[in-house]
Chain A
Amino acid sequence: MAVEERDAHTGYLTTGHEWNGITELNRPVPKIIWLFLLSTFLFALVWWVLMPAWPLGATYTRGLLGVDQRARLADDMASAAAARADWMAEIESKPVEAIRADPDLMRLARESGRTLFADNCGVCHGVTGAGGPGYPSLVDTAWLWGGDAQSVAETIRVGINTGHPESRLSQMLAFGRDGILERQALSDVVSYVRSLSNAPLAPAEQAGVAAGATIFADNCTACHGEDGRGSQDVGAPDLTDGFWIYGGDRRSILASVDRGRQGEMPSWETRLSPVQRKLLTLYVLDLGAPQ
């Protein structure tokens, strides 16, 4: 590499490298670039003073502006809360029935409720609230623990079969697996249960209904009631209404009776604030038909 090689045309030094006969002039960086670089340095100097910048061992310079992400978040949260404070206060203080009678307030409650429901409830109950296998529909008329405002709010607060000290507790026993009922008895009681909701029965099922009724009376009435209409005090579903959480076909009912069921709904007391839970209660009541 030749040093001090000069370009014959311009008289400037070249870098000394050559690519297929092309050489590059060795010229200083243009002034405008220096200018930009210098201005970024100056900006940095100002920024060091205004913003948290220099580490000082166990601490750091805080900057004159006092910018702190966590404080800024707290401000954002506070101004968002202030923006909805007037109607939130109404939601908080008014009884549920009064809110439901107020279309303007309900429109706001529905809007917030939809977001809360999708974020927290939708994965089990479905974004429309229609439920799915193992997760009750909230749009039908059947309620496990009661469909009035107070019951719904309480279910959301404590949950079902959770670790919450006041949790609603309910368990369908595993009559088959735990050897409480024989195989034939299981089959008969399933036939009887299906007859309760007037499901179309095959002739073979029809034959077991009478025997099933006796077995039902001996084993199931404590929770589901003598008429099979269930009890909202213990969260036992109504077997006569044609709504099923785990499916109403013969196979699904047999699985429920054989291996038992113990569905869980989480408690939302620590995760959601009281007013958020009230919004959800309003939203859920709004989803379903009145009881």
Chain B
Amino acid sequence: MFKTHYRLERHSIGFALAIIAVASIGGLVEIAPLFTIDETVEAAPDMRVYTPLELAGRNIYIREGCYACHSQMIRTLQDEVDRYGPYSLAAESQYDHPMLWGSKRTGPDLARIGGKYSDQWHVAHLDDPRAVVPESVMPAYTWLLDTELRTDDLGDQLRALRRVGVPYTDAMIDNAAADALNQADPDGAGAAAVGERYGEATTIRAFDGDRGRLTEMDALVAYLQILGRLTDAATTQSSATETKP
């Protein structure tokens, strides 16, 4: 052993290769098999994709650094399931590129925030958190209500996601910008087409309370309201194994 090490130390290329070999063991054993093991990503046949508006909201969520204080990952621990609902499944973030599981909770976990509170509350809370939750330490995102949402690049974003495996259709990509506009205009002529393309369960509402304008608030609230609701897999899976209190 002593002699081998002595020899290795005197051959820099051999030594570098040995370091690479040893350092990759962890990844090869712990990461690589997840791509081949069947049960890594659970079956979620009812899984739907993010609409362009929700995707734009996701991008704002990333831009504003929400993930730095909010996780989107309910772990398999009793207190988390009691508080937040069924634990997160890998299938639920299979269309997230990148995933936003996070590891720090200054604020609560958001994996199942969708539908928990009203749109009005989200708007009031994002605009001025302390107006509704006096003890909150969250920053105010006052510009979201005033900033018009950029939609011209949404088609390209859908196309990029399709390249990494999100099943967007050509029609979805071609109509991305219009669909974003129409999802926030429930009385508009295009609202029905959004529901047709993205499924019955798509929420079509004036998320920021103003039908006339498509703002970044519309997008972010649309995204928050869909969190945990892209598939029912988590509820069906856990109700089979758990008893609610």
B190 within 8 A of A: no
Contact of A73 among B38, B81, B121 (CB under 8 A): B81
Contact of A124 among B2, B77, B119, B121 (CB under 8 A): B121
If the complex has contacts A73-B77, A73-B87, are A81 and B243 also in contact, measured as CB distance less than 8 A?
yes
Determine if B37 and A266 form an interchain contact, defined as CB atoms under 8 angstroms apart: no
Q: Which residue of A lies closest to B10 (CB)?
A: A3
Q: Which residue of A lies closest to B30 (CB)?
A: A55
CB distance from B86 to the nearest CB of A (A): 10
Q: Which residue of A lies closest to B125 (CB)?
A: A123
CB neighbours (8 Å) of A70 from chain B are 76, 87, 241
Determine if A58 and B37 form an interchain contact, defined as CB atoms under 8 angstroms apart: yes
B12 within 8 A of A: no
Chain B, interface size: which category? 35 or more
Contact of B120 among A28, A57, A58, A264 (CB under 8 A): A264
B160 within 8 A of A: no
Q: Which residue of B lies closest to A58 (CB)?
A: B38
Q: Count A-B pairs with CB separation below 8 Å.
A: 86
Determine if B245 and A119 form an interchain contact, defined as CB atoms under 8 angstroms apart: no
If the complex has contacts A58-B38, A135-B132, are A84 and B245 also in contact, measured as CB distance less than 8 A?
yes
Contact of B29 among A55, A72, A126 (CB under 8 A): A55
Determine if A76 and B124 form an interchain contact, defined as CB atoms under 8 angstroms apart: no
If the complex has contacts A55-B36, A57-B36, A76-B78, are A265 and B118 also in contact, measured as CB distance less than 8 A?
yes
CB neighbours (8 Å) of B85 from chain A are 271
If the complex has contacts A55-B36, A134-B120, are A123 and B243 also in contact, measured as CB distance less than 8 A?
no
Q: Which residues of B does A touch, CB under 8 Å?
A: 2, 29, 32-33, 36-39, 76-78, 81-83, 85, 87, 115-121, 124-125, 131-135, 235, 241-245
Q: Which 5 A-B pairs have the closest CB atoms?
A: A55-B33, A264-B118, A273-B244, A76-B78, A73-B76
Q: Which residues of A does B touch, CB under 8 Å?
A: 28, 55, 57-60, 69-74, 76-78, 80-81, 84, 88, 119-120, 123-124, 126-127, 132-135, 263-266, 270-271, 273, 275-276
